[in-house]
Structure 1
């Protein structure tokens, strides 16, 4: 691999190799990068299926890496992006600038699959803001995340905010899970974060419990998810999502009493959210949800699911029907008072409800 020399800004990248790549080979490549004004940020990142290292490199030299594509051990070269936090720091994650794939790949299994789980969707950004402003939600908690995708952003943030354990789950795509593990490894979260495969709505919670109890013997307290509700979802998929919360809340080995889910409105009318309320939440006794609008962006909101057996499904159905044509939390097409009545915490007086 040869480089041309000139000065410009640095690019943050990660080189991923086959897991059998000799350490001497990696060290030789790192030395070459250092020689050409690159910096090795993390010299050893390894999962079950790949190994690599993180570095910064003058941006014009990244194109020189393309001539390196025929290296027998190289799998891909990926960009590393950063999510800024309110305290001035940031969280890094492996991601392409778009859904098109990595900078370069020599592995046919990379870049030729549904990359939805590789992208950092707006709901994750909403959730990071929400948790930073409400850190007590995860402080000291053991958290399970549904539909984590490959970024690991929420897991990294949760550890910084003081959670005891974070179990990030996804389902059905080995590439996404591998990317998630790589981001956990890159951010050095291994002592606090577990990564497992879990299918929504299934009773197969043993793998999640094992991940949660593997280090400190604790149980789970909280469930979170971001941008997992979308217009094309079937009723069964929405039900599976909500049922996951019910499964974990009823498992005697856990203490999951709340489920925070960041929602992004993509259908313009809020129809998807109304379907969730009318077709799923309304018919399940004891299941309640509060809608918390985002201050900066009316296109999203936080849904807080919780259990209260004192609220019957018939009562909730009547309240939801009165909402009428729901647009979005904070932008109601009918009186806001009716909606506030339904989403308010249970236990308000009769006078308040009137």
Structure 2
């Protein structure tokens, strides 16, 4: 892996392919990695006279979590990142850089330009820095990809002991992005990196592949669609617009066990759902919402209790 020195300050309209080719020779099967920062600069995604807070709302689909000054959001790209990936480093004072409008499209354009000028078939990865759940620190990930396998599917293979690999799928595009950051450094002025030796990951010239979008879990497919505090608030509010991040309806047995544990009620199965008598209807409603179910409440014979009929929610 190499990261060439000598890249000048990138500005709107600059030719990224030309900047790279002035400093590096490419071979068939190389993987070219470029930071989203310089892609955004070249595409005019710098906002002068602005702060993160000024532009955060426009780059946000929904807030995932807030802790002190940190806001984690889901972006229009489907990425979950602090401050929507808006960056105020390595840019003129008083300006911020937004993520590329469509990082996969940016990667495809750069790949096409490099092939047109060199005849070489390469893969291209647009990288950005992100934190990770459960881990301190940050690493670079792939937010745009063209001409490259983004993950390797090991399902069906066996290890040296004969054990089947059921769900092993290395996100090779992210692994390459993290490795490239080691060569580039944060302050070295080296926004490009070239990886040689993984031509097996590079697709045919006429195949750009699924892009980095393929690595983004859909709404409801992520076990951590909200932060811990935010999930409690959303469940208690019960707004139908907030359902998707909680995922598909849980099995009736799972919800019944949770209701019994939290409210001491004993839900009984009925056609299409569950019935429970409770003096804690708000708790039942919140638990049902968090598990992808909806509730109809009826007054019970005992004034302090209600009958709750629960059904899986229909999106």
TM range (shorter): under 0.3
Q: Tell me the TM-score normalised to structure 2 length.
A: 0.25
